[in-house]
Structure 1
Amino acid sequence: MQLNKKVSVLIPAYNEDRFITATLQAVKSIPEVDKIVVVDDGSQDMTVELARAEGVTLIVSEQNAGKGGALNLGAELVKNDDIIVLLDADLGLTAAEARKLVLPVLANQADMTIAQFPRIKHKGGFGLVKGLAHKGIKYFTRLEMQSPLSGQRAMTKDVFNKILPFASGYGVEVALTINVARMGYKVMEVPVQMTHDLTGRNWKGFVHRGKQFKDVLKELFFLYFKKISN
C-alpha cells in the first residue's frame, strides 16, 4: 500500500449547520487525509462560520448552484491530488467511516469506491428514486449497486479529472457511476456504517424526492441518447 499519496476531501454544503462541525472533526480524524475543502453552496444559516472555525479550506458561493455545481467549484483545488474523496456535509461523526473508502484506492484495489450504506429501518420515501437509479446503472454498466445514490466516494486523480465537469442537480451520483464504469475503471462498493439526514414522508420530503427523480431521469435519458448516437 502506498501511503505517501496525497488525499483530499471535497465537501459540498448547503444549510448544514446542524452537522458540519461534527462532519469536519470526523474527517480530520482520518490519518490519511491531507486537505479538506468545503464548498458552501449559498447557505443561509451558520454553515460558513462553523466551517471556517474548523480551519478548512473554504469556498463560498453567493448563489445556490446545486450539488454538481458546488463540486465543480471545488474541483480546481483538489484535481492535482492523488486521491479525491467526495463526502456529504450531513454525515456527522460517521464521516470517519470514509477511511474505509480511501484504503482500497490507496491499495490499488479499486479506481473508485462507493459507500454502501446499511439498511435503514424507517424509510423516508417509497424507493422510487433508488429503484430508478439502480435500474439505470445496471442497464448501462451491468453493475448491481446496493447504494446507487450514495454520494460518498473515493477515487484516483485520473478518474476525477476524466469525469469533470460533474452533472448538475441530483443526478450527479448516477452519472458519475455510469461514466466511470463505462470508461473501464474498477468500481467497488464498500460497506460502511454511515448515516445522514433523511428526508421524511412529508411535503418537503416529497418535493425533494421529486426533484431527485426528475434529475436522475434526465441524466439517464442524456446517457441513453448519447449511447445510441455513437
Structure 2
Amino acid sequence: MQQVTAIIPAYNEQISIGSMVLKTKQYVDRVIVVDDGSTDKTVEISQLAGAEVVSNPTNMGKGVALKTGFNAAVDSDIIVTLDGDGQHHTSDIPKILKPIIDGEADIVNGSRYLNGKEENTPAYRRVGQTVLDKATNFNARSNITDSQSGFRAFAAHTLPVFRFEQTGYGIESEMITEASNAGFTIKEVEIGVRYDVNSSKVNPVSHGVGVLIKVLQDMEFNRPLYYFTFPGLIMIIIGLLSGMLFFAQYLGGGSHSLAPTTLAALLTVFGTFIAFTGIILHSMGRMIDKTLANKSK
C-alpha cells in the first residue's frame, strides 16, 4: 500500500481549513497543513481537525509553503497538493491519485478546463488563465489546460527536480516546466471547483501579470533561441535594411550625415551579439542535458 500525504498551504484560512482537513483525511494517510505565517486561528483549528502543522515564521508565499510541505513529506510515496480555502473538492482526490497508482503518470494535474471552458469561471479570470496557459506551455513544451491549478499529485521520485525558485504563485508554472523538462509524464484529470468562496488574497490582475513576468523570465533559460536569437535576428534585419537605406540617401545627397547609418550598424552588431548568445546558451543546455542523460544510464 502506497503512503499518500496531502499538503495544504494555508494563510489565514481559519474559516475553511478545519473542514478541508477533515474531508481530506478520508482519502489520504496523512495531512500536513503548512501555515504560511497566519495571524488568525489557522494553526489551532488545523491541529484540532487532526492535521500535522508545519509553520513558516512569516507569510513567505505559496512557493515557499510548498517547499516546506514537500520537505516534511519526504517519506511519502505520493503527495497531493490542494488549497486550503475550500475551493477544491476533496472528493476528486481519488481521481487525482489513480493515474499514479496505475503507473500511467508521474504527475497528475487537476484541470478545470480539460473538457472546455468552465462555465462558472469569471470571464476576466479565464482570459488571464488562457494567456498564462499558453506562456507556460510554450516554455515547458507541454499541453496543459490548467497551468495554474493548485490541485495536483506527485509520485515521490519526481520531487528532486523541483527547485522552488518561485516564492509566490508563479510556482505552479515553474513546476510544470521543470517536470516537463525532466521528461516526466504529466496527465490531467477533470476536477470541480467552487467560486463562491473568498479564495483570492491578492488582486487577480496584478497576480496574473506577476506570474506572466516570472514565466517570461524563466523562458530565458528554457527557450534561449526564442528569448535571445529570434529578437537578435529581427534586430539584424532591421539594422541591415535601415543601414542600406540611410547609406543610399547619403550617397544620393539626401542626407549629409552618416550618423543614422552608424546607428543602424550598431543595431546590427548588437543584434548579432544577442542572436549568438541564444545559440550558445541553447548549445550549452543541450550539452548539459546529454551529460545528465548519460550519467543516469
TM-score category of the 2 structures, normalised to the smaller one: 0.7 to 0.9
Matched, 1:156 2:151: no
Aligned partner of residue 21 in structure 1, secondary structure = helix
Q: What is the aligned partner in structure 1 of residue 271 from structure 2? A: none
RMSD: 2.2
Which of the pair is proportionally richer in helix? 2
Residues 116-149 of structure 1 deviation map (CA, whole Å, 9 limit, x = unaligned)? 1261435063434312221112213443322121
Unaligned 5+ residue runs, structure 2? 225-280, 286-297
Matched, 1:65 2:64: no
Q: Report if the CA contact (8 A) 1:15-1:46 is conserved.
A: yes
TM-fit CA distance, 1:95: 1.8
Q: Report if the CA contact (8 A) 2:125-2:204 is conserved.
A: no
Q: Report if the CA contact (8 A) 1:26-1:93 is conserved.
A: no
Q: What is the aligned partner in structure 2 of residue 212 from structure 1? A: 208
Show the 5 A alignment for 1:1-230: 4-30=1-27, 33-91=28-86, 94-117=89-112, 119-121=118-120, 123=122, 125-165=124-164, 167-195=166-194, 197=197, 207-228=203-224, 229=281, 230=285
- Structure with larger Rg: 2
Query: More relative contact order in 1 or in 2 (CA 8 Å, sep 6+)?
Result: 1
Aligned partner of residue 183 in structure 2, secondary structure = coil
**Aligned partners of 1:145, 1:5: CA distance in 2, in Å?**
27
**Aligned partners of 2:206, 2:3: CA distance in 1, in Å?**
38
Aligned partner of residue 215 in structure 1, secondary structure = helix
Going from structure 1 to structure 2, the CA distance change for 1:75 and 1:44 (only over 3 Å counts) comes to same
**Aligned partners of 2:140, 2:70: CA distance in 1, in Å?**
25
Aligned partner of residue 144 in structure 1, secondary structure = coil
Aligned partner of residue 125 in structure 1, secondary structure = helix
Q: What is the aligned partner in structure 1 of residue 264 from structure 2? A: none
Unaligned 5+ residue runs, structure 1? none
How much identity, in percent, do the aligned residues show? 26
Amino acid at match of 1:190: V
Aligned partner of residue 132 in structure 1, secondary structure = helix
**Aligned partners of 2:108, 2:67: CA distance in 1, in Å?**
20
Aligned partner of residue 108 in structure 2, secondary structure = strand
TM-score where L is the length of structure 2: 0.68
Amino acid at match of 1:103: K
Residues 188-212 of structure 1 deviation map (CA, whole Å, 9 limit, x = unaligned)? 1101223353668xxx86x243133
Amino acid at match of 1:168: T
**Aligned partners of 2:162, 2:88: CA distance in 1, in Å?**
29
TM-fit CA distance, 1:177: 0.8
Amino acid at match of 2:147: P
Q: Report if the CA contact (8 A) 1:42-1:64 is conserved.
A: yes
Going from structure 1 to structure 2, the CA distance change for 1:73 and 1:85 (only over 3 Å counts) comes to same
Aligned partner of residue 164 in structure 2, secondary structure = coil
TM-score where L is the length of structure 1: 0.86
TM-fit CA distance, 1:55: 1.7
